[in-house]
Amino acid sequence: EVQLQASGGGLEQAGGSLRLSCAVSGFVLDDYSIAWFRQAPGKEREGVSCIVRRDGNTLYANSVKGRFTISSDNAKNTVYLQMDNLKPEDTAVYYCAGDLHPMACNSATSFSLSYDYWGQGTLVTVSS
């Protein structure tokens, strides 16, 4: 059974940093991608960043490019989202998700594919 456990959210001031973690378990093969999505109150869910477990390729939404960094510690089966220079508009519930589709984390599909596995959300609040 695939399980994803997100953690690390909290309250931070604008300009500050937070690191989210996603503990991943249950994938039999390493041909999967992990993505971070977020959903702000009253808004649709949006893709933030993703990483391909096997080759480390990454993708970022334009709104976070240059501020957020996704990484994977394969030995710990954990994916991180380092969020720097936080802005109030980054306030949202952040979810990590996983999928086996080879195009799940690809600039051609750009978070449009439906991820099969989801963790619970972790709330990030950025005050101005």
Q: pLDDT band at residue 41, thresholds of 50, 70 and 90?
A: very high
pLDDT-based confidence at 30, cuts 50/70/90? Answer: confident
CA distances from 46 to 23, 36, 63, 68 (A): 21, 9, 10, 15
Q: Grade residue 15 by pLDDT with cuts at 50, 70 and 90.
A: very high
Which pLDDT does position 3 carry in this prediction?
96
Query: What average pLDDT does the chain have?
Result: 95
Query: What's residue 108's pLDDT?
Result: 85
CA 93 to chain centre: 11
pLDDT of residue 110: 84
